[in-house]
Amino acid sequence: MTTRIKTDICVIGGGSGGLSVASGAVQMGARVVLIEGGAMGGDCLNHGCVPSKALLAAGKAAHAQRSGAAFGVAPVRPQVDFAAAKDHVARTIATIAPHDSVERFEGLGVQVLQGYGRFISKTEVQVNDTIVTARRFVVATGSSPMVPPIDGLDHVPYLTNESIFDLRECPGHLLIIGGGPIGMEMAQAHARLGARVTVVEGASALGRDDPEAAAVVLAHLRDEGVEIIENAQVQAVRGRTGAVEVEVAGGTVFIGTHLLVAVGRKPNLERLNLEAAGVETTRAGVRVDAGLRSSNRHVYAIGDVAGQGQFTHLAGYHAGVVIRSAVLGLPARTRSDHIPSVTYTDPELAQIGLTEADARSKFGAQVQVVRAEMAGNDRAQAEGKTDGFIKVMVVRSRPVGVTIVGAQAGELMAPWALAIANGLKMSAMAGTVLPYPTLAEIGKRAAGAFFSPKLFDNAVLGRFVRAVQRFLP
């Protein structure tokens, strides 16, 4: 027997973006239905951000035992219990999961329906035997690993980010197809925990990042024993569990025990029956306007499925935009220049706004690039974390892009995210007093590099100062 529900907001997808919309809307007084067919928390909690950072932390602990010689600590070969490292991953997920649970959201007043929703009209979604009619729908179904059409791949056991965290034994030799952030993070984590790792990338590894910054990361991974093969298009895959072969153009074959496919992600659209709702899509996801509204004015899309980026924090930002529009009825538009990204390798690579190449292409001679080296930071020297730099692209005294590579680059990006989001000038960073010694001082040093020519290599200012000195009592 079919049950019918009428509501104000129907959210399809219980990942970070959908949960943010649901919790915000219901606490503001809207009636909310949340539909989720998989695990609450979505990919980030269960297969992405959280488990990958937990595994990287385990790898960091193992690496610390190998790398103490510079501090007078004899390096030792760590005794890694790979299953116990995965227990740490599972505990981390389990600790965070209650915040995203059905019970918590029902306690907030959200009606949670567990199952996959599909549109049956422009204003109705069906999940199991329930039909939901809503004033506004928010599609927040996220994305899934893209599996490329490589010859033989469908006959060979392979891993994706959705299955690699289930491994209980360390791979003998992990082959990774794809040299993007996911591939590189998993390469370093597994290498540090005892696996031999080979990454095969069809173009340049970390190719979407500033090449100078990417080179710092890749050099570290290679020094730790990760084999990175670039400009090698995979032609075929064959083999079985424990003996997988990856053949690239030219005939070279790489043989390993396990295969991880990490070539990108695709939006989760298949189950939604968006045609029935009159919602237009592209290869990137749902086609949306600047307010995240689709071709059906009743339907919004946020996060990965909106085709504007695949970051948890972007989904959270999208949620705020939709709440402003769909819940409060206020005008709201997205922007993208203030959305940061981080690759959590060691060293980390963080980016916000334009890279140097993009800034020069867009602004030409107007852009000024200032930088500071990690080696010039006293805290970095004390901790032996001197590889890396910060590079700030400045136009008319305002940062339009920042690249940071080095220890805790993601943390160091925070003040620059604040600056770019709020249109602050370089003087705001230069005038900030930071505790000494901290890695964060590298940002202020970069700001100082912007003002130094104006202060210390200025003939007019020099004459003025000399005149002032003559008249001072």
**Is 431 annotated to bind ligand?**
no
Q: 180: annotated binding-site residue? A: yes
179 is in an annotated binding site: yes
According to DSSP, the residues that pair with 355 across neighbouring strands are none
Residue 142 known to bind ligand: yes
Show the CA angle centred on residue 416, arms to residues 414 and 422, nearest 5°: 105
What are the C-alpha distances in Å from 254 to residues 8, 226, 245, 257, 263?
A: 54, 14, 6, 10, 17
86 is in an annotated binding site: no
Task: Return d(Cα 21, Cα 287) in angstroms, integer.
Answer: 19
State yes or no: 53 annotated in a binding site: yes
**Assigned token pair, 357:** 């190449």
Does 316 show up as a binding residue in the annotation? no
Q: Does residue 295 have a known ligand-binding role?
A: no
Name the CA dihedral angle for 92, 339, 438, 221, rounded to a multiple of 10 degrees: 70
Establish whether 182 is an annotated binding residue: yes
Q: Is the dihedral of CA 69, 72, 77, 82 positive or negative?
A: negative
* 48 assigned binding-site residue: no
Q: Is 151 annotated as a binding residue?
A: no
State how far the Cα of 140 lies from the Cα of 299, in Å rounded to an integer: 11
What residues are paired with 121 via a beta bridge? 124
CA dihedral 63, 67, 68, 71 (to 10 degrees): -130
The answer to whether 184 is annotated as binding is yes
Give CA separation, 465 vs 219, 304, 448, 462, in Å: 47, 56, 20, 5
CA 131 to chain centre: 35
DSSP code for 163: T
DSSP 335: -
Q: Which tokens in the block code for residue 375?
A: 């080696």
Would the annotation count 124 as a binding residue? Answer: no
Q: How far is CA 390 from CA 197, 212, 218, 337, in A?
A: 29, 11, 17, 18
- The answer to whether 304 is a known ligand-binding residue is yes
Summarize the annotated binding site for FAD as residue ranges: 53, 117, 141-143, 304
Summarize the annotated binding site for NAD(+) as residue ranges: 178-185, 201, 264
Summarize the annotated binding site as residue ranges: 53, 117, 141-143, 178-185, 201, 264, 304
